[in-house]
Structure 1
Amino acid sequence: MSPSGPPPPPGTSGNAAAPAGRRHTFRSVAPVLALCWLAVFFDGMDVNVYGAVMPHLLDDPGLRLTPGTAGTIGSWTTFGMLIGALGTGTLTDWLGRRPVLVTSVLLFSAGSAVCALSGTAAPFGAGRFLAGLGLGGLMPLCLSVVLEFAPPRRAALATGLLMTSYHAGGMAATGLGLALAPTLGWRWVFWAGVLPAVIAAPLLLRLLPESPGVLLARGRTAEADAVADRYGLPRPAPADAPAHGPKGRLDAVRALFRPGVRRATPLLWLASFAGLLLVYGVSTWLPQMMRAAGYGLTSSVSFLLVINAGGIVGMLIAGRTADRYGPVKVSALWFLLTAAGALLLGARLPLALTYVVVAVTGVWLFSAQVMVYAAADRVYPAAQRATGLGWVTGIGRTGAVVGPWLGGALAASGNDRLGFTAFASAGLLGALAIGLVPLARRTGRPAATPSPAPAGAE
């Protein structure tokens, strides 16, 4: 980088432009986005399958699940996700993106098989915990890969496109629950969760490129340059490479609290906590809450399909809007709209109107959380991206633990409908936390070296 030139924005390389003849566009990185889309599709299917079959699990006398136990098992899943997310961010800088991503897919597929074979609650919960370990690692990895390969000015759109797959997977889980569980039983729905090991893992192992930054950090410069040239990326500079070795991984975590980001980091964690409490609380308990509100079983499960359909639309809207106005503003507004939608769902509305409110709430709910990830990409530079996203998603998983547990606790006490108020409160908390990130970045910079936030970061 020339001393007289401006520094590159976080998330971009300081090296020369990509070689002539290969432009860095969505088309050039479409294969990477497609592979990660497939992986996250199965992630969304596995996460949502528990909520999709929840009424059938509670009605199965063999499992002897109570609402409280079911909520606890949901929290075991998300506790496994917390461990997976926190460990993955540093493991992937050491072992590489591709092998850790494939391992994540194999783990949650194995967890689904354990659930399908379980006869009592204890092994079923162990299967969900195992699945959580894989699910927790997959999301930050796919986000990191897509953000590394995507054109910098389209990072939020790329994130939104990737996350449409999560909701497509959620819709697939609901469809499987509606089609298989009433006639063949809930176990067949979990057997479908073994498909990622058969379909996605071989494709990822064969076709997904390794991160140029990780290759450079491991001394494989020629391979790093070849991957960058193939996909139209700038060749990685040493500043883009994650620190190597145990000390380097510890330094990567410490860098999350360096001047300029040290006050933004806990706010991103808090926003992620609120967002994931909403995502996993609603995904697990929406059918049961709607059933308690007086809707029929089929309608209650169908609401999960509708809210995920709204989520797909929301990702496309949020991605384009955030690239123009900044992910922080979009996330804060989306959190507020989610809170309003949750309060409306607590009212007993006509069925047709309820479907509309559920769909519109889905537009805001899921993409509010995803724009937290897009904001994190603009806060942390390339070398800290995987670690930063891993900790944002990992700490946020505490919200994913609390969400299912909270829904189960309210259901066990006969207060299912209070869940809507609790989720609305989480939306307000998320809006406040993410909305304060720009102020935290400005006040957290050293006074002697002020620098403006990257364009669109706010």
Structure 2
Amino acid sequence: MTSSGTTGPGRPTADRPHHTFRTVFPVLALCWLAVFFDGMDVNIYGAVMPHMLDDPGLGLTPASAGSIGSWTAFGMFFGALAAGNVTDWLGRRPTLVASVVLFSLGSAVCALAGDPTLFGAGRFLAGIGLGGLTPLALAMVLEFAPPGRAALTTGLLMSSYHAGGMAATGIGLGLAPAAGWRAVFWAGVLPALIAVPLLLKYLPESPGVLLARGDRTRADAVADRYGLPRPTPVQAPAAGAKGRLAAVRALFHPESRWATLLLWLASFCGLVLVYGISTWLPQMMRASGYGLSSSVTFLMVINAGGIVGMFVAGRAADRFGPAKISALWFALTAAGALLLKSHLPLGVTYAVIALTGVVLFSAQVMVYAVTGTVYRDSERAAGLGMVTGVGRMGAAFGPWLIGVLAATGSQTMGFTAFALAGLLGAAAIALVPLARRRGAPGVTARQTAATGGEAAQRRG
């Protein structure tokens, strides 16, 4: 379909802006803000856990603390499943807003909780909101990303998670000692007051979703405004439960079935690392003999490394391929975890934690970047949703496992568990390009872009 003043649906003219970072910056900035608050909410628990364990009125034990960390991840799993239905009904933008509202309410419940059960219910509620947010934000950003910059755009978006983690640590260090851990969770209500009005006013709806809902006029208008190619029916995600089931079945076509399973395994391992460390790092370092303030500060340092890692990994992945970078980053994470098992001098420990943060979080994010290159446009949202959804099982398993080890006085063994997860994740993601080629010997360069820096050419 063409319109006056254009030479085709995918070509910018004087009436349609060029598709660059500049034209899509509002979408990236708003999704960045939403994921920032996601990272803040996830990391708040780890930042204040030592204070909560020291609060006799709450009655939290290491074992129950680990279980509660898993409840958050289970909430994320159910939230990711529910997001598909809600997106069909409301669209991606309102679903993002609803996700922010839910995890803000969950933080309020945690602030009011008088026992571990009610606190766990608050974390479960927050998890429901968090579960739908990341895959929706990733799908939005990948849809709006400039050509040739898919991995870099993904890295830029997910840098916000670690900025949020640093903010959570700073709030925990500043508020918890004087005002108590509850004040930190009250700060977790801020997303509903700050992000929701901005998302409602400025975030556009997905052109693909608009087209799937039959609104061709609005879909073309949004695409033209942001310099995107106008969506075609094959790019639009199928609506309704039958459409989503068909999209999930498509992930197991012969050309992608093995790649799908490997992506799920890599995501599981990646989120074992991300959520296990985000929840337990301060307490694990405290058990290793470091002071309380230093142990909490380590969480800020590892998230600072995560921000740097997103930029480094995004640029490297656009050049060498996200699968290669993700595999290397997983392996380096395993090495960092083994180093942290030893009680090193404080300065060396800070350096190791910072460098581990550089590779740890971006290893998982590059799994999402690889996912975006494996599937066709109409299957990408379903592929991302399933990769993040299955990964949530790792997000539940990691905190639970370290909680079990902590209850037996063996929580430092968690570093060995993290190293094993890193090695398994490296093997899984490294095999994805091979599995994709074997499944589809005649695929095009766009379909095998996971092996090289041409990833974003799939939109060309």
C-alpha displacement of 1:385: 1.7
Change (3 A) 1:90 1:429: farther
Confirm whether residue 457 of structure 1 aligns to residue 417 of structure 2. no
Q: 1:216-227, aligned counterparts within 5 Å? A: 216-227=211-222
Partner of residue 455, structure 2: none
Q: Give the Cα–Cα distance (whole angstroms) in 2 for the partners of residues 244 and 357 of structure 1.
A: 47
Secondary structure of 1:417's counterpart equals helix
Q: Give the Cα–Cα distance (whole angstroms) in 1 for the partners of residues 379 and 40 of structure 2.
A: 29
2:91 pairs, out of 92, 96, 102, with 96
Secondary structure of 1:263's counterpart equals helix
Confirm whether residue 169 of structure 1 aligns to residue 143 of structure 2. no
Secondary structure of 2:231's counterpart equals coil
Confirm whether residue 355 of structure 1 aligns to residue 316 of structure 2. no
| Preserved contact between residue 89 and residue 389 of structure 1 (Cα < 8 Å) | no
Q: 1:234-313, aligned counterparts within 5 Å? A: 234-313=229-308
Q: Give the Cα–Cα distance (whole angstroms) in 2 for the partners of residues 52 and 320 of structure 1.
A: 30
Report the aligned-residue RMSD.
Answer: 1.4
Partner of residue 181, structure 1: 176
Partner of residue 6, structure 1: none
Secondary structure of 1:257's counterpart equals coil
- Deviation by residue 1:356-398 (Cα, 9 ceiling, x = unmatched): 0000000000000000000000011221121111110000000
| Preserved contact between residue 89 and residue 391 of structure 1 (Cα < 8 Å) | no
Identify the range of structure 1 (20-29 vs 429-438) with the bigger mean alpha-carbon deviation. 20-29
Q: 1:345-384, aligned counterparts within 5 Å? A: 345-384=340-379
Confirm whether residue 197 of structure 1 aligns to residue 174 of structure 2. no
TM-score (norm 1): 0.95
Q: 1:49-448, aligned counterparts within 5 Å? A: 49-89=44-84, 91-445=86-440
- Deviation by residue 1:16-63 (Cα, 9 ceiling, x = unmatched): 324444100000000000000000000000000000000001001111
- Deviation by residue 1:187-223 (Cα, 9 ceiling, x = unmatched): 0000000011111011111111000001111111110
Q: Give the Cα–Cα distance (whole angstroms) in 2 for the partners of residues 301 and 410 of structure 1.
A: 20
| Preserved contact between residue 83 and residue 133 of structure 1 (Cα < 8 Å) | yes
Change (3 A) 1:15 1:388: farther
Deviating 4+ runs (over 3 angstroms): 18-21, 449-456
C-alpha displacement of 1:91: 3.8
| Preserved contact between residue 85 and residue 240 of structure 2 (Cα < 8 Å) | no
Report sequence identity in percent: 72
Q: Give the Cα–Cα distance (whole angstroms) in 1 for the partners of residues 85 and 309 of structure 2.
A: 31
| Preserved contact between residue 373 and residue 448 of structure 2 (Cα < 8 Å) | no
Identify the range of structure 1 (179-188 vs 248-257) with the bigger mean alpha-carbon deviation. 248-257
| Preserved contact between residue 15 and residue 237 of structure 1 (Cα < 8 Å) | no
- Deviation by residue 1:147-188 (Cα, 9 ceiling, x = unmatched): 000113101000000111100000000000000000000000
C-alpha displacement of 1:261: 1.1
| Preserved contact between residue 75 and residue 125 of structure 2 (Cα < 8 Å) | yes
C-alpha displacement of 1:407: 1.0
Q: Give the Cα–Cα distance (whole angstroms) in 1 for the partners of residues 232 and 197 of structure 2.
A: 31
| Preserved contact between residue 331 and residue 434 of structure 1 (Cα < 8 Å) | yes
Unaligned stretches of 5+ residues in structure 1: 2-13
2:10 pairs, out of 13, 16, 24, with 16
Q: Give the Cα–Cα distance (whole angstroms) in 2 for the partners of residues 136 and 152 of structure 1.
A: 28
Corresponding residue pairs, total: 444
| Preserved contact between residue 89 and residue 386 of structure 1 (Cα < 8 Å) | no
C-alpha displacement of 1:457: 1.5
Change (3 A) 1:450 1:364: closer
| Structure with more relative contact order (C-alpha pairs < 8 Å, separation 6 or more) | 1
Change (3 A) 1:85 1:338: same
Q: Give the Cα–Cα distance (whole angstroms) in 2 for the partners of residues 261 and 100 of structure 1.
A: 29
- Deviation by residue 1:334-373 (Cα, 9 ceiling, x = unmatched): 0000000000001111000100000000000000000000
Paired letter, 1:233: L
TM-score (norm 2): 0.94
